[in-house]
Amino acid sequence: MVSRHLQGLNEKQRQAVETVEGPLLIVAGPGSGKTRVITHRIAYLITDVGIKPYSILAVTFTNKASNEMKERLQGLVGHKSNQLTVSTFHSFCASVLRRHGQHIGLDSNFTIFDEQDRMGLITTAMDEAGIDHKRFPKRAIQGIISKAKSLLWDANSLSLYQTNYLEGITARVYSRYEELLNQNNAVDFDDLLMKTVALLQNNREVLEQYHNRYIHLMIDEFQDTNVSQYALAKLLVVPPENICVVGDPDQSIYAWRNADIRNILSFKKDFPKATSIQLNENYRSTSTIIEAATQLISSNRDRLPNEIWTQNQEGSPITIHEAFNGEEEAEFVIRRIEHLIREEGVQQSECAIMYRVNAQSRMIEEACLKYGMKYRLVGGIRFYQRKEVKDLIAYLRLINNPEDQISLQRILNVPPRGVGATTIDRLLFNAKKENTTVSNLLKKLALDDTNTGDIAPRLPPRALKSLIELENLINELRQISKSSNVVELIDFILDKTSYRSYLQNKFEDHADRLENISELRNAAFSFTELGIQEDLNELLEHLALVTDLDSYDQSSDGVTLITLHQAKGLEFPVVFIIGLEEGLLPHSRSIDDPESLEEERRLCYVGITRCMQHLYLVRAFRRTFMGSSGPTIPSRFLQEIPSPLLHSTDSYKEPVPNKKNLLIGSSSSEPCLTFDTGDKVVHKIFGEGIVIKTGSHKQDNEVTVAFIGGAGIKRLDLNYADLRKL
């Protein structure tokens, strides 16, 4: 009689479940039933082979994946699942150290320091070592320490193997950082792995306890393991080496988290007796999508042969669409989803829009709001609710409206300027007591050169000085706003507050946050031709209309907005991948690095294989970067998909004129004229003027013109502005 745990499995899946002796590598392609195979194999070991649940250790990466595995096993083996060890790497290591940490000088009541705690200690270590924070950002130092620990390197090893000056500096910080951790009886997340490996390597008695307990070890998402995780796995394995690893090198996309694809690629070298089974039948996608994904990933060299296939129907061709710009890209996506809902009965929840960087969600969110499309933003908050975006908007609102106390309170100590919570509370109390505003109190402080006012003596000297400087800064920015457009004003705020440095020093994801700031500048750019005073008002009104919809329905009924990294493990009937351009996908940081470029291709592969039926690959002919619009280059990944699998929609013909375009004249089908400094020109709205500056090589579509009369100096995009030579 066939085991019930083998029923409904294909030949390869059954083979994976029934192979219970010795090392086993399961290469599981996308949509191949990986989780089902893992859970059925564990159930088979318990019910058919007779392995005690207590002797099985299953390790994965996230609590979500761990909980899902536990729930499935509960359905398969009932109460026996309670005796299994199903855990994340970090949870398992924490339990080991709680029991046995005293062998390496770690008390059982140790604290696991979170990110904020860790950065505080690194700051202290840098200060004590005399390291300049401006020259050597603490986030960069933290990243190097984390990578070193993932490689099982202590400070001495880092010093010995350093490849650049920063790593040498970091080694000094690392040494003191470890001393501070020890003084606090604390570990960081990387220590959980590193110290567990050290414990098991140096204490045979403890290691044998785990050898005697765990007969079978299973690791999910093995392609995402780093050096320390793989070292731990090899330590736990004893003859006959019952280790089963499941993964797919084609879906290895976390090198930035120190994942090492070489672990899965070299598994059979480390375990020569290993059996390799390929799960390559895809149950998720149409054959067209599978063929496209297969052809794309075949360009990578660092992979294991595992050509996925499917018995599913051919399905519709993959749609390629080229929009004119990012705004039209977003509109195309939302209008096409509307069409699918109306004509084919697709549900909003069946659609996903995927992108490389978080900042790309901004235009999609705006298009959703414009057309009344419900959406869910996965793994983040709405664009205009992201901290760095709200901070800059608060500065802009305060410049525009001095009585905006909400904005003032938000930026009183952002970036940090020594104004603590106690000082802020005291300001609010005095404002209420005197029936005035905090803004007025700051004005009084700034005007009172002797600092003898009622409030001044009750404030710490540093805070008092900072508040006066802030009031002067806001006044300076208001003056600047009278002669600068809104993009230039944002730049002045960033420079005068050192906001970029603040993000770089405080946040691990500072690169994403800086990209969000760039995207805010992009949003502001379309308002720069309205006039110096009008552009700020119009921008703030536009932003208010968006942010007023914070309570917009985010139920499960909405379209999913998600990064490609976050989409791994999910599936949708309809998928749009946007921004398929060189510099976005693949990302600009990877183009000159062959290994990074292969990871970008794997990322695109992951996105494509999330799709079940309808796949759309979308790009923009022009895109705005850092406040300027420029042409893009189609992603090389588009060229790696065979053309017979693709269907191109009509590419852009003309950008659809919006309200702003109509004020300055919509673009012409004729190519833009070239202008030189000194050319006399005429504009239908601003009149006659003289070109005083032409764009750089990155902004060759822009000119700056000094107009005669009251229009003043304007920076114009020649793709939109109807500008002619006289």
Active site residues: 34-35, 220-221, 251, 610
**Contact status, residue 437 vs residue 471, Cβ threshold 8 Å:** no
- Residue 354: helix, strand or coil by DSSP? strand
DSSP state of 418: S
Q: What are phi and psi of 530, to 5 degrees?
A: -85, -15
Q: What are phi and psi of 126, to 5 degrees?
A: -65, -45
The two structure tokens encoding residue 480: 């600047």
- Torsion on CA atoms 413, 416, 417, 423, rounded to nearest 10: 40
Query: From the CB of residue 3, how many other CB atoms can be counted at a distance below 10 Å?
Result: 16
Tell me the DSSP string of 32-65. S-HHHHHHHHHHHIIIII---GGGEEEEES-HHH
Amino acid, res. 720:
Y
**Contact status, residue 502 vs residue 416, Cβ threshold 8 Å:** yes
Residue partners of 15: CB distance under 8 A and separation at least 6: 277
Residues found in the chain: 726
Rg of the chain in Å (alpha carbons)? 30
Distance CA 556, CA 534 (A): 39
The sign of the dihedral angle between the CA atoms of 336, 338, 339, 343 is positive
CA-based nearest residue to 164, from 178, 149, 144, 138: 144
The Cα diameter of the chain in Å comes to: 94
Partners of residue 707 on adjacent β-strands: 689, 712
The two structure tokens encoding residue 494: 């960033």
First to last CA, the chain: 92
CA angle 464, 470, 474 (to 5 degrees): 150
